[in-house]
């Protein structure tokens, strides 16, 4: 799901069950999946399937907040499965993470179909992402530690968890400091580079892929691949090294935005002072 807190999954009473029954699937898709709620290119894959869960759940009266709680629990269960020494359990954990992320789209779609959006739902959604993102490197490091006895791998997982958790939180710090959701990409207005991938500069393409690796879809996908190919140790080392780099790059990006905002505020203040000055 795209980042955002202006309007997010909620759990109020619905009066739209008849409306759901009357509209076609494509009409409901347009309501449930407006473009501004899908700023990431990878969203398209999950959106293709999520609507087939969102429509029946809307008809059956499922609440968006209830769906949010369910996907959080499924995601944490997936992270816990990575701790197992049994290969198939670790792979199952990766699949649970992917299903959790699919349901992350469903809760918002149900909220928009049934008009149950709420700020409480947005809070639960963001908290769930923070919990699972932080748990994944810890689980991977602990799994390798349990199998090899390497304390270094446990430490590597802890470093990855801390830097990924802090890096993810920087957007909230930027929003609180500036008082503007847009500064931290927390509103629902998508500012997406829609040019074909082949037209993007190589450095921008690499940077985008690197950054996506620390969003939920990237972390969950890497966890699935790490479990599938039995490379959780390599993945833990990657998170230990790349996590701090991503965190610093993200901090620099938000610092630039805040400096630009300070400059604009100062210019506005000077303009206002000049206008108010007596002739």
**What are the pLDDT digits (tens) for 170-181?**
989 988 888 877
DSSP string, 21-71: HHS-HHHHHHHH--GGG--STTHHHHHHHHHHHHHHHHHTT--HHHHHHHH
Residue 8 domain-assigned (yes or no):
no
Mean predicted confidence (pLDDT) in 99-117: 93
Residue 172 domain-assigned (yes or no):
yes
Residue 87 domain-assigned (yes or no):
yes
Name the band, by pLDDT with cuts 50, 70 and 90, for residue 250: very high
Work out the mean pLDDT of the chain and round it to a whole number.
Answer: 85
**What are the pLDDT digits (tens) for 109-136?**
999 999 888 889 989 999 999 999 999 9
Residue 274 domain-assigned (yes or no):
no
Residue 10 domain-assigned (yes or no):
no
**184: domain range?**
17-266
Residue 275 domain-assigned (yes or no):
no
Asked if pLDDT for residue 233 goes beyond 90, the answer is yes
Residue 212 domain-assigned (yes or no):
yes
> Comparing C-alpha atoms, which of 66, 60, 62, 63 is closest to residue 12?
63
Residue 40 domain-assigned (yes or no):
yes
pLDDT of 232 reads 96
State the total domains in the chain: 1
Name the band, by pLDDT with cuts 50, 70 and 90, for residue 63: very high
Q: Provide, rounded to the nearest whole percent, the portion of the chain with pLDDT above 90.
A: 56
Asked if pLDDT for residue 104 goes beyond 60, the answer is yes
CATH of the domain at 159: 1.20.120.1760
């Amino acid at each position: 799901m795209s980042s955002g807190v202006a309007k997010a999954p909620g759990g109020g009473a619905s009066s739209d069950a008849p409306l759901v029954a009357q509209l076609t699937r494509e009409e409901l898709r347009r309501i449930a999946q407006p473009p501004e709620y899908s700023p990431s290119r990878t969203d398209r894959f999950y959106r293709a399937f999520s609507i087939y869960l969102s429509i029946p759940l809307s008809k059956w009266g499922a609440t968006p907040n209830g769906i949010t709680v369910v996907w959080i629990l499924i995601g944490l269960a997936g992270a816990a499965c990575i701790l197992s020494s049994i290969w198939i359990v670790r792979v199952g954990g990766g699949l649970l993470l992917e299903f959790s992320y699919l349901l992350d789209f469903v809760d918002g779609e149900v909220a928009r179909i049934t008009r149950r959006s709420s700020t409480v739902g947005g809070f639960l959604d963001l908290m769930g992402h923070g919990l699972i993102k932080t748990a994944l490197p810890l689980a991977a490091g602990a799994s390798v530690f349990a199998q090899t006895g390497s304390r270094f791998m446990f430490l590597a997982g802890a470093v990855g968890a801390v830097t990924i958790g802090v890096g993810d939180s920087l957007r909230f710090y930027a929003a609180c400091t500036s008082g503007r959701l847009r500064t931290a990409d927390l509103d629902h207005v998508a500012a997406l580079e829609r040019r074909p991938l082949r037209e993007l500069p190589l450095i921008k393409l690499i940077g985008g892929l690197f950054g996506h690796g620390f969003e939920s879809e990237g972390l969950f996908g890497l966890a699935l691949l790490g479990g599938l190919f039995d490379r959780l140790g390599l993945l833990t080392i990657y998170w230990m090294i790349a996590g701090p780099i991503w965190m610093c790059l993200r901090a620099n990006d938000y610092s630039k935005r805040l400096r630009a905002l300070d400059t604009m505020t100062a210019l506005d203040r000077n303009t206002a002072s000049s206008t108010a000055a007596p002739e």
